[in-house]
A = this chain, B = another copy of it.
Amino acid sequence: MTNICHLDLQPIGKRVEVPEGTNLLDACQQAGVELVAICGGAGICGTCRIRLLKGKLTDFSMTEMEELTEAERAAGLRQACQVEILSDLVIEIPPESLSAPQRLSIEGRDADFEWDHSVIETREVEVAPAALTDLRPDTTRVLDALKEAGAPGKYRFDPEGVKALSGVLRGNDWRATLAIRSDEEIVAILPPGTPAFGLSVDIGTTKVAAYLVNLKSGETAAKTGAMNPQIAYGEDVISRIRYINDHPADGLKTLQGRVVETLNNLLEELGRDAKVKREQIVEAVVVGNTAMHHIFAGLPVKQLGDSPYMATVGEAMNVKARDLGLNLAAGGTVYLPPNIAGFVGADHVAALVGAGLHKVTDTVVALDIGTNTELSLYHNGRHWTCSCPSGPAFEGAHIEDGMRAAPGAVERVRVEGDEVQIHTIGNVDAVGICGSGVLDTIAECKKMGLLTPKGAFTGEHPRLRGSGVNAEFVLVPAARSKTGRDVRMTRKDVNEIQLAKGAVRAGAEALLDVAGIKAEEVQQVILAGAFGTYLDLDSAIGIGMLPRTERNRYQQIGNAAGTGARRMLVSREQRQIAETLARDVEFVELAKHPNFTKIYAQALLLS
C-alpha cells in the first residue's frame, strides 16, 4: 500500500497528489508546473532549486551537499531532482526555477494626472571652503548657504544622512546636491548634479510590484515585481496573522523580514537596471492592505485577526527606511498612506487616489476585488466604504482544479453549442483554471441553460458529466491538458464562486442602501486591481456579480493602487488627498447593516 501525499506548489497555487516516494521534479511535472532543469535531473546544474516550507523530503544527497552552501541548506533550499517526497509538502518555487515567466503585475491607467512637486526637492549648494579664517562646522556652512540662496525652510539634517556631508563637500570642491524632504529635513547629501529617485511599492497578499521613479521628472526609470514570499506562511491574510499569533517570539519579525528581503532584492535589480545607486533612492511610498501594511511596518496584528478586526494605525506614517531594514539611502524615508479600517487599508486609499476619485461629482462605485474586496461609493459629496470577505476563489484557491493566474491557467472560456473554446495564460497546454476562467465558465453554462440560479447543474452537454453534487463541467479533457488529467469545474466550484461574487454584490447593494440610491443611479462603476481588470465584464454581469447597468458605465482601470502609490511618490498634493480622504470617509460595517442577511441571500443567486 502506498501513501498519497498532498503537494502544494507555491507561489503558483497549484496542488497535486502523488504517491509517497515520488521524485519531486517528476511530481512538479505531473502537476503541470515546469521547473528549469537544464541537466535533465542529473543534479549538476542546480537550476531546479526549490525551498521546502513544510513537510519531509529524503536527506541531502551527495550532489546537494556539494551544490548547496550550508546557509542555503539551512534556509531549506533543495534540488528538486535529487529528492523524494516523504510526506504532505508545501514547496516554494523561486521564479528563477520556473521555466515559464510569471505574470507579475499589471499597469494602472494614469490619465489626467498633473503632478505638482514631490515631497523631495533637490538643491545644489556651494559653500566656502574650510580655512583658519572660517571654521564654521560643515552643517553650518550648508545651512548658511541655503539661507543666502533664499531657500524657504528651517532645515535640519537626518542624523544618518549627514554622515556623508564632510566627504562629499571635500571630494567635490565644496559643492553638493541636497535632497530635502518637506522643506525641512536634509535626508541625503550627494555629489553635485546627482538626481534623486523614489521607490513605489504595492505589497499585495500574493504579488509585490516595485517602481523606481525619477523624482524630478516623475518618469519611471525601471520596474519589477516578485511573489510575496509571505505566501509560504499562509495564502491569505488571516492565515498569516494566525502564523504570527502562533509564533509570538518571532513570527512578525519573520514575515516582515521576508517581504523586506524581497524588496531589497527588487531594489538591487531596479538600481542595476536604471544605473541608480542606493544613496540616490531617498523616498518610498509603500501601499498594501491593512495586514500587509502592519506586517511591513512591524505593527502588531493580533487585533486585526480577532473581531472586530481593528487596525493599530490609521493615520499616514513617515518611517525611516532604516527602521524597516529597507535599503534606501541612509536617511531615506518610507511614506505609508493611511488605513481606513482593519479590512480597508492603504491600498484601497491608494487605489482611490490613483483613480482620481477625490474630485468626482458623479455617483461612482469603485471596487477592488480580491480575497478581500473593498468598495467605495461616492454620492452627493459623501463617500462611504466597506469591505467584504470575498475569499480566495477568485484567485483559484478552493477551486478543484484552480490555480493562480500563472502560465497554463485557463483564463477565458466560450461555449458555443457543443464546442468549448478556452484560452490559457502563456498559450500553453492547460494546467488548471484561474478565477476569470471559472467566472467565464459559470456565465457560459448559465447562458446555455446548464446552471440554475442556485448554482446546480442542469440539462445536458457533451462536457457535462455526473449529476447532483457530483456534477462537473470538463473544460479540457485529460488528453489535451498538461497534467494528463481533466481540467474541470465542479458543482462545488460553482458554489465557491457564488459565495465570493455574492459577497461583492452584497457589499455594493449595502452601500447603495446606506446612501439611499438605486443601482441605476450609479454613473460609473470602476473596477480596480488585477482580477477586476482581467475578468470578463459580460461574464461578471451575467452571473450577477456586478449590477446589470449600462455596459459603458464600467471601467477597468488596472492596478490603481500602484498608480496611486506612484502619484503619492511624486506629489505632495496627492498625499494630502489620501489623508483627507481617509479622515472623511464613512466606514460601513456590513455586520451591523440591518438587512445584510437578506441582501446577501439575494446576491448569492446566479442572476
Contacts and interface: CB of A to CB of B under 8 A. Distances in A.
Given A300-B163, A303-B170, A315-B140, A589 B135 contact: yes
Contact of A323 (B131, B138, B300, B322): B322
Nearest to A341: B135
Contacts of A130: 303, 308, 310
A186 B314 CA distance: 15
A143 B315 CA distance: 10
Interface in A265-310: 297-300, 302-303, 307-310
A132 interface: yes
Interface string A119-144: 00000000000111101111110010
Protomer copies? 2
A156 B312 contact: no
A320 B321 CA distance: 13
A432 interface: no
Contact of A159 (B133, B143, B300, B317): B317
Nearest to A309: B135
Interface string A324-358: 00000000000000010110000000000000000
A519 interface: no
Contacts of A166: 299-300, 302-303, 310, 312
Contact of A303 (B138, B162, B298, B317): B138
Between A300, A312, A589, the greatest number of chain B beta carbons within 10 A of the residue's beta carbon is seen for A312
A479 interface: no
A592 interface: yes
Nearest to A301: B166
A311 interface: yes
Contacts of A167: 300
Given A157-B313, A315-B143, A298 B163 contact: yes
A165 interface: yes
A250 interface: no
B313 A139 contact: yes
A312 B314 CA distance: 38
A591 interface: yes
A160 interface: yes
A137 B312 CA distance: 5
A182 to B, nearest CB: 13
B587 A135 contact: yes
A601 interface: no
Interface string A152-184: 000011011011011100100000000000000
Given A299-B162, A323-B160, A313 B138 contact: yes
B135 A313 contact: no
Given A135-B342, A137-B314, A139-B313, 5 more contacts: A133-B592, A135-B589, A137-B311, A163-B300, A165-B312
Of all A-B residue pairs in the complex, the 8 with the closest CB atoms, nearest first, are: A137-B314, A137-B311, A140-B314, A159-B319, A166-B312, A166-B300, A138-B312, A139-B313
Interface of A: 130-133, 135-140, 143, 156-157, 159-160, 162-163, 165-167, 170, 297-300, 302-303, 307-315, 317-320, 322-323, 339, 341-342, 587, 589, 591-592
